[in-house]
Amino acid sequence: MKAIATTHKNRTRLIFVFLVICACMLALAVRLGYQMLIRGDEYAQRATRQQTRDSVVLATRGSILDRNGSELAISATTNTIWVRPDSVKGNGKNDEEIQLNIYTEANTLANLLHMDYEEVRSIITSDRKLLKVAKNVDKEDAEKIRAAKLAGIEIVEDAKRYYPLGIFASHVIGTTTDDNVGLLGLENYYNRYLAGINGREISSKDSRSNAITYGTSKFYGAQDGYTLVTTIDENIQYIVERHIAECKETTKGKRVMCLVMEPKTASVLAMAQTDEYDPNDPRSPVGTEEDKAAFEEMTDAEKVNYWNTIWRNFCITDTYEPGSTFKLITTSIALDKGVTYPEETFYCNSAITVAGQKLKCWYYPRSHGQETLVTAVENSCNPVMVQLAQRLGLTRYYEGLDSFALTERTGIDYPGESFNILQNKSTAGPVGLATMAYGQGIAVTPISLVTAISSIANEGKLMKPHFIKELRDSEGNLVDEYQPVIRNISMSAQTAADMLKIMEDVVGEGGGGTAKIAGYRIGGKTGTAQKPEGGGYSKTDVYGSFIGIAPIDDPKFAILVVVDSPRGVLYGSQTAAPCAREIMKEIFTYMGIEPNYTEEELEAIGKSKVEVPDLTGRSAENAIGVLGGKYLGYTFAPAIEDYKNLIVTDQYPKPGTEVTKGTKVTIYYETEPGEDEDSGEDVED
């Protein structure tokens, strides 16, 4: 090929082409500038939105411990397995390979998760972007799945609330929602301390949401929740729960509750009621098989109602009629205000007329006759209580209730505490005052009554009841320690000492004998009150209760047992007091409190025989209580179901006879003339 010279035309064209390219490049430089600088921020924001994932770093919910550090509620880590079905196909080049990948993955997952192959397969071949394969997978299985390196599988750690003791103290601890938010009980009340503060992680992720080591990364660590150390004693709680369940069984009551408090600090040592729900599964029905079957039949609204019923903490959110146990309050006020003294002599005339209305003693138509204040309390004599209240007058009586802080809520660290229902001071009038004096026509929360009575065991210092002992951080360092709070002075130390003596006498000599334990000095008072029903009072349902303090010389605990609607047996001395005795016995052993027998007791223990006490003229319940104190049993002749209104006329063996312990004393009786039961009269011992 011969060389032909380049023409001027060719050169012109080259320059032209170059200029065209230059023009294009210039235009593109402008275009890039528009996209990168003018629209750049908009694109960058869009990019950031797709590139960053804002994820929550879960704070671990703090544990709830008993006073000795036993775990009542803990947070367990579980794993949730997620799948991105798009990724399951893997790098399969053709349909055959893809099918193989799906088969292998479904098979592996089904084996590791103990699931059905077909079920897993349908999940991992779903057309959704991301879905859950399994939850609550334990660490071991999750590790195996992680090790299997399956395509498109993500393992997310979740926290689950777990109550290691199962159905235990659930009305105290409460439970959480599925999202780990406190729903009931202490879980709810202390939620903001237990919950901790969730952290956040904002970081760049690739399009498959894997973390990349550069780009944006902001980590705000989670602050784990505090550990709540409660005043509950696992052992005492256990003793209480076991005995109230037994008591519910033997008395055939609707429910039984018990509260044990340390009087010097008003720390709640145990609080239980039947039936406790399962905090791990709070929505499952409680009680008998029939109850559970009935639950299945309920509508959704009825179920919600049902749950609200079984979740209620009777001791704090419900009130009940205290009956004769309230006489301790009246007596305390009267003693403290100086309107009487323990040795003062009163006269019971079987009834007392107040503002033209005849208020009968439970002993009516008999009378207690002449009695001291101490024996009046032992006898649970209504007219004496009325006299005390009358001497005090409305204003001073209410001052007394104020000093026991019964007119307001205790302020316990628990959600939903109820107010006590007292007679309105301005409308109570003389009759209202009089009936209130022996515990009628009012309703109190168990916690407020136990707190009030505990002040007797604490030289009159009324403490604020509480469940919290300490808060600790996740490393176990002490964050805050509860300091006992004195709310009020309910009475002088002298009055408190007098009251303790009176309470001890009630158990030792009076109708509280069924709570008596040889070798221990126990003070207490039983009570039986008809349940309000449709504006009047129920003929069949009562609250039988016992409130006690032990040991009298150095009070370690106050206890209240309430039996709701027992059947067959009726009185507090038959239902609540024996239950309280069994609980107290075990608490003494647990606390290492040694028995200290009196000579009389030693003699009684030494001898297998006891002297039969004189029962004539006593009420049935009183008689049963007295027999209990002497380790004697009883039978009624003729046998009777409802011995509410009967009086002992005779007995066998006769008083003074030496019999073997455990002998049943046959009680002969006569029925009381019909009482006006709707009046809500005390049916006490």
Partner 1 sequence: MTSEGSRLLSTTDMARKTKTEGPKLKPRKYYEPEFLILALTLLLTLFGLVMVFSASYYYAISKTGNPYTFLINDMMWKLLGWVVFAFLTHFDYHRIAKYSFIVLAVGFVLLGLIFTPLGKTINNATRWLDFKIFTVMPGEVIKTCLILFLAYFYAKDPSRIKRWKDGHFVVLAIGGAAFLLILAQPNLSTAGLVLLLVLGMMLLAGLAWGWIIAMGALGVGAFTIVVLSPKGAYMMERIQTFFDPFKDALGSGYQVVQSLLALGSGGLLGVGLGQSIQKTLYLPEPQSDFILAIIGEELGYVGLIVLMCVYMLLIWRCIKTAIKAPDIYGTLLAGGVALHLGLQVVLNIAVVSASFFPTGVVLPFVSLGGNATILYLAEMGVVFNISRQIRPPEEEGV
Residues that bind partner 1 (CB under 8 A): 1, 3-7, 9-11, 13-18, 21-22, 24-25, 28-29, 31-33, 35-37, 39-44, 46-48, 50-51, 204-208, 212, 214-215
C-beta of 28 vs 355, nearer to partner 1: 28
If one counts every other C-beta atom within 10 angstroms of the C-beta of residue 618, the result is 24
- 3 state SS of 574: coil
Our CB check for partner 1 shows the closer of 9 and 114 to be 9
Distance (Å, whole) CA 612 – CA 249: 30
Q: How far is the CB of 128 from partner 1 (least distance, A)?
A: 16
Considering the complex, state which of residue 91 and residue 309 has its C-beta at the smaller distance from partner 1.
91
Return d(Cα 461, Cα 493) in angstroms, integer: 8
Strand-pair category, 227-230 with 64-65: parallel
Residue 19 C-beta: closest distance to partner 1, Å: 10
- CB 435 within 8 Å of CB 422: no
- Residues whose CB is less than 8 angstroms from the CB of residue 61 and which lie 6 or more positions away in sequence, other chains included: 75, 159, 161, 176, 180, 194, 195, 196, 224, 225
* C-beta of 10 vs 635, nearer to partner 1: 10
Cβ-Cβ contacts under 8 Å for 634 (sequence gap 6 or more): 623, 624, 627, 664, 665, 666, 667
Closest separation in Å from C-beta 272 to partner 1: 58
Structure tokens given for 6 = 């380049």
Task: Specify the residue, 10 or 596, whose C-beta has the smaller distance to partner 1.
Answer: 10
Task: Please identify, using beta-carbon distances, which residue of 204 and 616 lies nearer to partner 1.
Answer: 204
**Tokens representing residue 596 in the block:** 């200290």
CB of 409 to partner 1, least distance (A): 58
Angle between helices 327-336 and 493-508 (to 10 degrees): 140
How many whole angstroms separate alpha carbon 465 and alpha carbon 220?
A: 38
Tell the smallest beta-carbon distance from residue 293 to partner 1 (Å).
Answer: 53
Give the residue with the Cβ less far from partner 1, 22 or 479: 22
Q: Could you tell me the smallest distance in angstroms from the CB atom of residue 204 to partner 1?
A: 5
Would you list the DSSP string of 572-634? TTTTHHHHHHHHHHHHHHHHTPPP---HHHHHHHHSSEEEPPP-TT-BHHHHHHHHHHTT-EE
The residue (of 217 and 349) whose beta carbon lies closer to partner 1 is 217
Question: Could you tell me the smallest distance in angstroms from the CB atom of residue 90 to partner 1?
Answer: 12
Q: How many helices (H) and strands (E) does the chain have?
A: 22, 26
- 54 by DSSP, 3-state: which? strand
Which CB sits closer to partner 1, 215 or 338?
Answer: 215
Closer residue to partner 1 in complex, CB, 93/114: 93
Measured between alpha carbons, how far is 562 from 577 in angstroms, rounded to an integer? 9
Interacting residues of 253 by C-beta distance below 8 A, sequence separation 6+ = 247, 544, 563, 564, 565, 566, 567, 575
Beta carbon of residue 154, minimum distance to partner 1 (angstroms, whole number): 16
- For the bound state, the minimum distance from the C-beta of residue 415 to partner 1, rounded and expressed in Å, comes to 48
User: What's the min distance (Å) between Cβ of 218 and partner 1?
Assistant: 15
Output the smallest distance, CB 43 to partner 1, in A: 2
- Could you tell me which residues are beta bridge partners of residue 9? none
Q: Which residue, 43 or 341, is less far from partner 1 as judged by CB?
A: 43
**Which of 320, 254, 325, 244 lies closest to 566 in space, CA to CA?**
254
Rounded to 5 degrees, φ, ψ at 152 are: 75, 10
**Nearest CA to 260 among 586, 621, 684?**
586
Q: Which two tokens stand for residue 603?
A: 């003699």
CB of 211 to partner 1, least distance (A): 10
Is 47 or 486 the residue whose CB approaches partner 1 more closely?
A: 47
Cβ distance 564 to 256 under 8 Å? yes
Q: Which residues face 610 on adjacent strands?
A: 659
DSSP class of 416 = T
**Please, which residues have CB within 8 angstroms of residue 147's CB and are 6 or more apart in sequence?**
none
Partner residues linked to 357 by β-bridges: 354
Smallest distance from partner 1 to CB 105, Å: 18
In terms of CB distance, is 6 or 299 closer to partner 1? 6
